[in-house]
Structure 1
Amino acid sequence: MSSTQERDEREHVSQESDERVGADLARTLEEAARALLERGEEEGVEHTLGLVVRGAVQTVPHVEQAGISLVERGGRVQSYVPSSQVVRELDELQNELGEGPCLDSIWYEQRTLVDDMDQAHDRWPRYAPAALERDVGSLMSFQLFTERGSAGALNLYAARPHVFDESTADAGRLFAAQAALVLHGAQHIQGLHLALDNRDVIGQAKGILMERFGIGQQQAFSMLVESSQHTNMKLVKVAEWLTGEHEKKSGAS
């Protein structure tokens, strides 16, 4: 076989491999999107992020382990849907040490690529040896950016060094984008539920006033608004106080 034929054969095999990876990726993302729609809010979010993580392990070349690091209140990073105990340990370790590629991606960079963990001692002098002890040779970490800023990072691990290149980074970025969309939707859902909860407690407070004073809905609402203005408290806080006092008295009687 001539060199030209060999080159053509390699290009054909490479093209078929790229098409297969693309088809697997598309199928995984479709399953993740469908799962979010079919399941309940919190369960759907966790299940869908788990699908994204498993899909990344199954689809992105050379990725053997994966997980998502999410920022909690107070800035602490929580390991979420890790594919293994090692991934969970590495997240917890970064919290303890205050250094590591996942933290860098969350707070500073859109993407952190570690081509060889053995060469990362200068950057993360305590994290790098710990990662090597857990057979992590390469790592890619992608920031999950939503409307409220950085929500966390998608972290992809490989045992061997020098296995991630721009093509694998592009595939990983697609999974990170899907995870960010899921988190964006979850934040919207949380805001919607907060609004519904506020509406419910205000409705309860109106009902208490209507029963106590024999007034209509509009008058009861006006009383809540006036009380809010006079006490310099938010309307929902006034409603919460009123319903709390009503429950105390009901329990006492």
Structure 2
Amino acid sequence: MDWHRFAQQMASMARDLLAQPSVDSTLARITGSATELVEGCDAAGILLVHGFEVETLAPTEQLVADLDQLQQRLGQGPCFDAARESEKERVFRIHDFTAEELRWPDFVARALERGVGSMMGFLLFTDDLDFGALNFYSRRPGAFTDVSEDAAVMLASHAAVALSSARTHAQLEQAVATRHQIGEAMGILMSELRLTEDQAFAALRRYSQENNIKLREVARQVCEKGGLSGL
């Protein structure tokens, strides 16, 4: 491995990431770089798990999304184990799928049918039941070495930052949307019931507490129904 050349390529990629217009394009640039910079990597993608639902971000091939969905259907796989054991290990590697008989037997058998020879992944974050991982796949057994892992760690660090930005951005967007909808619902109540701003908010909050419904959901229903009376 020519680490000097690799460092130059990483620096170029880092500059390129800053020029990307969106988080999605940033993540796509990261997974695309995996096949260029990580020795042995044929395909890559980012797996997100929300509770029991799986989402694939920026897959370089359909194979990546298929394998993520496979882990969800089977309820087993290296990513799920990495998340459960996150305090012990944030990196996993399947050196040779043809020799992997004990762990995840159903997942391994079906991955072999799809032509996967080896795999490695890096846990990017864990949050209660949610987690994210950057995964690398090869069609050759034994494709990933310690050198491959070192290179992938650097890419994973960029992916972790990009995902953190994406999650923060999504949370901010949701907060802004919720605030806007609550304001719209308050306006409806102020007009319908001739309430002050404080009284309208108090009415929404009281309905939320009495019916054990989140405030944003009450606001959404008020906006749809045109008032509390229709709920």
TM-score normalised per structure 1: 0.74
8 A Cα contact 2:31 2:44, kept in partner: yes
Question: RMSD of aligned C-alpha atoms?
Answer: 3.0
CA distance in 2, matches of 1:223, 1:127: 52
Match of 2:55 in 1: 78
- The higher-RCO structure (CA 8 Å, 6+ apart) is 2
- Structure 1 residue ranges, 4+ long, deviating more than 4 angstroms after superposition: 146-150, 213-216, 222-235
Write the deviation string for residues 37-70 of structure 1: whole angstroms up to 9, x where unpaired: x3xxxxx232222111101111112212112222
CA distance in 1, matches of 2:185, 2:75: 46
Match of 2:223 in 1: 243
Query: Structure 2 residue aligned with 1:124, among 88, 100, 104?
Result: 104
Task: Please state how far the C-alpha of 1:113 moved relative to its aligned partner.
Answer: 1.0
Q: Give the alignment of 1:31-180 within 5 angstroms.
A: 31-35=16-20, 38=21, 44-72=22-50, 74-108=51-85, 109-145=89-125, 150-180=130-160
Q: Flag the structure with higher helix content.
A: 1
Gaps of 5+ in 1: 1-13, 39-43
8 A Cα contact 2:47 2:134, kept in partner: yes
Q: Which has the larger radius of gyration?
A: 1
Which residue identity lines up with residue 68 of structure 1 in the other structure?
A: I
Match of 1:6 in 2: none
Task: Please state how far the C-alpha of 1:141 moved relative to its aligned partner.
Answer: 1.0
Change beyond 3 A, Cα 1:101–1:248: same
Write the deviation string for residues 172-210 of structure 1: whole angstroms up to 9, x where unpaired: 122222222222222212221222122112211232233
CA distance in 2, matches of 1:193, 1:128: 39
Gaps of 5+ in 2: none
Aligned length: 227
TM-score normalised per structure 2: 0.80
Question: Is the partner of 2:46 in helix, strand or coil?
Answer: strand
Which residue identity lines up with residue 30 of structure 2 in the other structure?
A: V
